[in-house]
Chain A
Amino acid sequence: MDYKKEYLDIAGYAVERAGKAGRSAGAPVEAEAYVSDTESIQVNVSAGAVEQMNAVKEAGIGVRVLREGKMAFGSTNDLSKKAVGELVDGLVKKVVYHTADEFNVIPGPAEGGLSAGTAGYTDLGSYDDQVTAVPVQEKIRMALRMEAAGLAYSPRIAGSMMAVYQDGTSYTYIANSNGVGGWFRQSGVGAGAEFTAAEGEARESGSYQNGYVKWADFDAEAIGRRAAENAVSMLGAKPVASAEMPLVVSPEIGVQLWSFIAGMLSADEVQKGRSLFAGKEGTAVAAGSFTLIDDGRFKGGTGTAPVDGEGVATQTTPLIVDGTLKTFLYDCYSAKKGKARSTGNRSRGGYSSSGGVGTTNLYLKPGEIEPEAILAGIDRGFYLTVVLGLFAAIDAASGDFSIPSAGFMIEKGRKTYPVRGVTIGGNLFELLKSVEKVGSDLTWFQSLGSPTVSVSHVKLGGS
């Protein structure tokens, strides 16, 4: 896949056209255009053969116009001048009905907006041309090998539920009326599998998935084996009696928890009164061992990009340092409102969404202790490996949670039998403060990373 100058040109055209429409309406109009051009392959295999293959090539444009404090957004996948012109003209007319908001902003250099033009933004290792260069037959073979590796993992593996290979590459082009503009590219390759395991009457399923920037980092067979291992290890799982006990959070679940917390650290949520972290800057919100970082420039991260969704430079943002809340995540709107600077966290799902505050590469800073040593310190506890409906089970307004879970009992410092049919209950803010040990085993799942973490107590609800 290649850089296409015509896409940078159409973005520039949309911006110019908005200015022109504004001039003929007698009002100054600022504008921003965001073009994304993506290519992707998805292959589902089943029983040693392709079940479904989907090839995607798509480009589209999203435009924001700002007129007298009012902002409107629109998008289309028709990149002809005619269609883009009509879209822009419509937006410039319609925006007058919106609510004016003094914090609306199209960034310029003063807000951290970067200009790179046709040369493109600095490459931070977020693209690997192997991802499109590898022939599709080889990609299909990868998916088949992943399934085969899982099926061969153990005689107790009963079947394959899902084996999916997926990759994608994208070029993003940005232009705005304040001189910000340029382009960058990203790639991703990954796979996911799910297997069932059976022994006697017992039947369990287990899954695993991960994704990478580089083709060379992608190991399909390892993903298949890991999914199969997750199924087999749960065989014989049963509920346990309700009790309060220490909790060990696996990296898989850790990343989901920290991601949820990062959502509440969005300045936008805080300013709208929807986050309980409001007003807590500079105070202790977590145990001293807890340091949470968002890093948009992390080399090789799947969430890495030189600029965010509105052309502002990305950065490393320590959110919680040694338990103390340092800052929130900002885009330009929330920064202007909060009298702060954008942290480069405007996140967009693609050209058809104007986006909002989001994370880039989010991780919990690892500690010194080996995960085995964390377990060794626990006489009776619960090792959490599976949660169901995490985002629904945590009440963002109060932090209260009751999460249906599965995992393993810890007895005398070791993982013992598998457990399911239990819930863990508590409050997220209390949980952050009761974090005890943070392991050395930082593990990445795409753009989220966490080591193993122990928490002093949690309510386990069971039979």
Chain B
Amino acid sequence: MSKKFLSRRAFIGSGAAGLTSIAFSSALLEALLSSTGCKTGPGGLAAADVIIPDDILAKAVSHLMAKGADFGDVYVERAAFDSVMSDDRKINTTTTIEKGVGLRAVKEGRTFYAYTDSFEPERIYETARYVADAAAAPASSSAPPVITLAPLSSTLSFPITPLPSEIAVDAKIETFKALMDRAWSADPRVVQALQLLREIIRQVNIATSDGRIVRQTLGLTEIIAQTYVKGADGQLQAAWDQRGAYAGRDFFTGPNAFEKIVDAAAAKAVKLLEAVDSPRGVFPVVLGPGMNGVLFHESCGHGMEADLVFKGSNYKGQIGKQTAAKGVTLIDDGTIPQFPGSYAFDDEGTPSERTVLVEDGVQRNYMCDKIWGAKLGLPSTGSGRRQSFRYPPIPRMRNTFIDKGPVPAADIVAGTKRGIYIADVSGGGQVDVITGNFMMGVGEGYLIENGRITRPIKGATISGMGVEAMKSIDRVGDDLALFPSAGRCGKMQSAPVGFGMPTIRVRNILVGGKGEAWTDIEGDKGGK
């Protein structure tokens, strides 16, 4: 209860450490889906998505608003979590079925929240009255207002094909066993391997005091692989890879195939056996395309979330001002099909959108939900998300990426005399979301010597201030890649997010490692 108490710092991609807690049975999931008739999981409106009928939702909202609240909403959810995991060559599954109703009232910018695990109308109303009382304005005891709800629809949809329940349990285990065998036979030096496949179906009904009603079903599939290898000298190295999408298994083909992920974990671990200790000091770092976008999610993105802006992050009051190097554009996009941060509506019923945060180095916008956006005088960008019915929504990132630039990617390394190339920052990390002070471990990295990628390195960390890192980007490549990640962002609540970026170079950044100290490094081999 008190062990994970109060951590405000955001963790992301912290390895396979958090793998053990989620789960479900296909039988239960099937029961869930067949009871709703949902066979395609549309993002928009469908009768199949009804958990609680309109009239009960409307009455719950009116109870919330009865004591003078400015805004209220009801969030109904049921979810099934099914996971298959292989650890130490043992295949096990877990199952979780959860349901609940979250009730929120907002008065003068203050949020009052409670939830119940019951769908009984009387229990929902009772919880609504409790919240309304907590938020009550003195001397306001008017009769409950009448709320009329109008459904919203969207052109975005997130089909789940196939539905997890359409794959028989034995077939599922067979597929998974093949993955396990593949991981263990990837290299003779493999000593331990772990694979996790997680499938989640979340069905949500939202009703708001401004008359909106949204019903949607989302299906999330995630695959994570971690492999340990032992070298001849006894050294142990571990590496991992992962993908996630709001889609069924049909998404996981080509570069996202389950096999590719298992192979990549082993290949990265093996490479570490031959790696040299990372140099340390302040010098140029070239970041490869795709998942390295997590670095900017951590170090800059959080500071652009409306709640943290309001509380005084580095990005407060910066709209129209230079917050990154010229040529750098940062986007948070909740509409990319199948990506883990995408959805038709956010968790307070606002349509999702593509939000340009930084354009050519100039701050243009922040990520806003209704409440914190209003405090900044900005409209919601559809960024209000919650982990589950247990939490009120807060402003969150979706799929955050640096847009492509003009420089041919190959020229960036070629133009760097000495530094390191980071293929993958998947070594985990932490950030102080207010100051943007960040630290990231390097999963796969190499030395850059005379404009060429040479030996692999191990034990490297990079750290600094997000806003400084963004300002010291001096090359933006033309090879933008988006990464559908299974990494959850953990800002007080867990949320699936995606990342992306092209190859970029950061001129000066603090690199930690056990190797030699590098000083007086000249980044450029030639001029720009």
Using CB atoms and an 8 Å cutoff, list the residues of chain A in contact with chain B.
38, 40, 46, 49-60, 71-78, 83, 86-87, 90-91, 93-94, 97-99, 101, 159, 161-162, 164, 166, 168, 170, 186, 188, 190-192, 194, 196, 205, 207, 209, 211, 242, 271-274, 276, 302-303, 349, 352-356, 388-393, 395-398, 400-404, 421, 423, 425-427, 446-447, 459, 461, 463
Contact = CB atoms under 8 A, between A and B. Distances in A.
Given A190-B5, A461-B512, A389 B434 contact: no
A77 B99 contact: yes
B117 A58 contact: yes
A224 B315 CA distance: 26
A98 B514 contact: no
B27 A90 contact: yes
B114 interface: yes
The 7 closest A-B pairs by CB, nearest first: A392-B428, A423-B512, A389-B430, A188-B2, A402-B512, A74-B95, A404-B463
- Interface size band for B: 35 or more
Interface string B184-220: 0000000110000000000000000000000000000
B358 interface: no
A397 B514 contact: no
Contacts of A74: 23-25, 28, 94-97
Contacts of A211: 2, 5-6
B445 to A, nearest CB: 12
B170 interface: yes
Contacts of B109: 51
A400 B459 contact: yes
B91 A76 contact: no
B112 to A, nearest CB: 5
17 contacts: A57-B116, A72-B92, A77-B100, A94-B95, A98-B93, A168-B2, A194-B434, A273-B230, A302-B2, A388-B438, A388-B439, A397-B238, A402-B514, A423-B512, A425-B280, A446-B5, A461-B281
Given A91-B25, A94-B93, A194-B434, A397 B228 contact: yes
A388 B430 contact: yes
Contacts of A459: 280, 514
B300 to A, nearest CB: 16
Given A186-B1, A211-B2, A461-B512, A396 B8 contact: no
Contact of A99 (B14, B26, B89): B89
A73 B87 CA distance: 15
Given A273-B236, A425-B512, 6 more contacts: A57-B114, A209-B5, A389-B429, A393-B441, A395-B238, A461-B510
B528 interface: no
Nearest to B172: A97
Contacts of A349: 4, 21
A248 to B, nearest CB: 20
Contacts of A392: 14-15, 427-430, 439-441, 461
Contacts of B115: 56, 58
A99 B6 CA distance: 38
A355 B26 CA distance: 22
Contacts of A463: 282
Which interface residue of A190, A194, A352, A459 has the most chain B CB atoms within 10 A?
A: A352
A228 to B, nearest CB: 15
Contacts of A72: 92-95
A51 B111 contact: yes
Contact of A397 (B237, B281, B390, B441): B237
B266 to A, nearest CB: 14
B72 interface: no
Contacts of A186: 1
B463 A78 contact: no
Contacts of A101: 90
Contacts of A49: 110
A439 to B, nearest CB: 25
B28 A87 contact: yes
B512 to A, nearest CB: 3
B153 interface: no
A41 B26 CA distance: 35
Most buried by B among A101, A271, A393, A459: A393
A67 to B, nearest CB: 13
Contacts of A242: 280-281, 517, 519
Contacts of A272: 87-88, 192
Interface in B54-94: 87-94
Given A53-B112, A53-B134, A205-B435, A97 B93 contact: yes
A240 B328 CA distance: 31
Contacts of A425: 280, 459, 512-514
Contacts of B236: 273-274, 276, 397-398
B30 to A, nearest CB: 10
A395 B514 CA distance: 12
Contacts of B97: 74-78, 83, 87
Contact of A76 (B96, B130, B238, B519): B96
Contacts of A99: 89-92
Contacts of A94: 25-27, 93, 95, 169
